[in-house]
Amino acid sequence: MKAAWAAVVLTLGWGCNPNPKPHGSGAPATSASAHTDEEGDVHSPQVRPPVPTATALSAPARAQLTALRVSAHQGSVIIRKGEMGWVLAGPQGCTVAKARVELALDNLSALQAVSTTERPADGSVFELQIVVESGDERTLHFDIAGRQDGRDLLQLPNEATYRLQGLDRKLWSPDPRAWCAPAQ
């Protein structure tokens, strides 16, 4: 019975803390303390990775990257770093030219952000989402909204907003063809 209950819990995604709240402090979040459930099993505090709050890609973070995710209302790509280079997943997948990935990463490294209190005007959170990962940890998580005077409105997972200068939206296309095309 205990094993069946565990299977149900895992299948439904229940855990000790079913409604985690985002933490913006940068420190790992934990539940209050270990506790024992009705079956007598002890559950340790849950540790969640810190919310990414960087507004540009640092050199140390760049050296550890394992995946890039680009999403928009129309399209999405996942590019993973493997032993043979960067590979775009999916039916339209390909090996992405190293020069293409380096150009995109250079763009993220050169960004400049200025804090703002602006929010997306139309209520949508993003037009473009860029996520950079190192293993299971998100190094960058950008929700990009409207562009104004050449600067994009950026919202981070902690809901801080910035006007971002220097983002080349053509480099961060959610279209697989843009990543699979020969490097120019």
| Cα–Cα distance, 67 to 134 (Å, whole number) | 7
| Cα–Cα distance, 124 to 126 (Å, whole number) | 6
Q: Where are the domains of the chain?
A: 2-48, 59-180
Q: Looking at residue 16, what is its pLDDT?
A: 34
Distances in whole angstroms, Cα of residue 3 to Cα of each of 6, 10, 38, 176: 5, 10, 14, 43
Residue 76 parent element (H or E): strand 76-82
What pLDDT, in 10s, does the model give residues 99-125? 999 999 999 999 999 998 888 776 666
Residue 88 has pLDDT above 70, yes or no: yes
**Is 85 in contact with 95 (CB distance < 8 Å)?**
yes
CA 141 to mean position of chain CA atoms: 4
Average pLDDT over residues 159-184: 88
- Write the DSSP symbol of residue 40: S
Per-residue confidence at 44, pLDDT binned at 50, 70, 90? low
- Annotate 42-74 with b (16+ C-beta within 10 A) or e (fewer): eeeeeeeebbbebbebeeebbeebbbbbbbbee
Owner of token pair 């950008």:
142
Residue 176 has pLDDT above 80, yes or no: yes
Q: Which of 85, 98, 103 is nearest to 172 (CA)?
A: 103
